[in-house]
């Protein structure tokens, strides 16, 4: 009986999170109430408060169910002592775009974070997570570009800090563009092609081709 109760509670929690994704995506976080989410999840408002103390806690739990695109890349780059840093970084970025393209939940949550969330007052906690993630990616990618320079693989026109900033801007722009024009932009195909072209420009002329 205890096991059944625990399973039922988990099912209710997931139903609330699923409903929150849908309602936040449709109406925006600020204009959504917990009552609306309860109705969408077909549970009582008390059930929502039993699982989540407030809307912020609900948003945080929603975010925890997926990785942000930058977190996908950071996970792939846990070890940065590779002899092929450009190839490893390019693959991590391409894989993150492909995952984003095929994972509907990930796209929905990132859409909420980028376009449906008004970052004022208590909601800044969600923006802070994005900032911290972007900062970590910038540091990690710059470290890889510095290693590529040391190995003679990075074109002289690309100082490591500039290459890291350029990559971050490219990835952010591709993902934002795909979310805004989902039906007209193939992130897995066109987005990855942009990453390929960017890394081709980074490669030193006399270095082995990045694969």
Question: Tens of pLDDT along 153-205?
Answer: 999 999 999 999 999 999 989 988 888 876 778 899 999 999 999 999 999 87
What stretches of the chain show up as alpha helix (H) in DSSP? 2-27, 34-41, 45-51, 55-64, 69-76, 85-102, 104-115, 124-150, 160-180, 192-202
pLDDT digits (tens, 9 = 90+) for 121-156: 666 667 777 778 788 888 888 989 999 999 999 999
Q: Three-state SS for 1?
A: coil
pLDDT band at 8 (very low <50, low <70, confident <90, very high): confident
Which is it for the CA torsion 192, 193, 194, 196, positive or negative?
A: positive
CATH class of 2-63: mainly alpha
| pLDDT number for residue 80 | 58
Domains of the chain by residue range: 2-63, 66-202
Q: Three-state SS for 123?
A: helix
- Alpha carbon distance 21, 10 (integer Å): 17
- Alpha carbon distance 200, 129 (integer Å): 31
- Average pLDDT estimate for 70-75: 68
CATH class of 66-202: mainly alpha
């Amino acid at each position: 009986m205890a096991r059944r109760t625990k399973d039922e509670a988990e099912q209710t929690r997931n139903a609330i999170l699923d409903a929150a994704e849908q309602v936040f995506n449709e109406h925006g976080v600020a204009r959504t109430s917990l009552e609306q989410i309860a109705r969408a999840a077909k549970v009582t408002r008390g059930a929502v408060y039993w699982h989540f103390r407030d809307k912020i806690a609900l948003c945080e739990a929603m975010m925890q169910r997926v990785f942000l695109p930058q977190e996908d890349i950071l996970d792939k780059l846990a070890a940065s002592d590779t002899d092929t840093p450009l190839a490893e970084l390019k693959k991590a970025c391409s894989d993150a775009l492909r995952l984003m393209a095929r994972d509907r939940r990930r796209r929905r949550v990132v859409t909420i974070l980028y376009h449906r969330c008004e970052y004022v007052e208590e909601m800044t906690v969600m923006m802070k997570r994005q900032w911290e993630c972007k900062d970590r990616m910038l540091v990690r990618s710059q470290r890889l570009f510095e290693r590529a320079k040391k190995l003679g693989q990075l074109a002289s026109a690309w100082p490591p800090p500039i290459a890291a900033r350029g990559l971050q801007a490219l990835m952010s722009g591709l993902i934002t563009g795909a979310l805004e024009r989902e039906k007209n932009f193939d992130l897995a195909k066109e987005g990855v092609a942009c990453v390929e072209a960017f890394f081709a420009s980074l490669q030193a002329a006399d270095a082995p081709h990045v694969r």
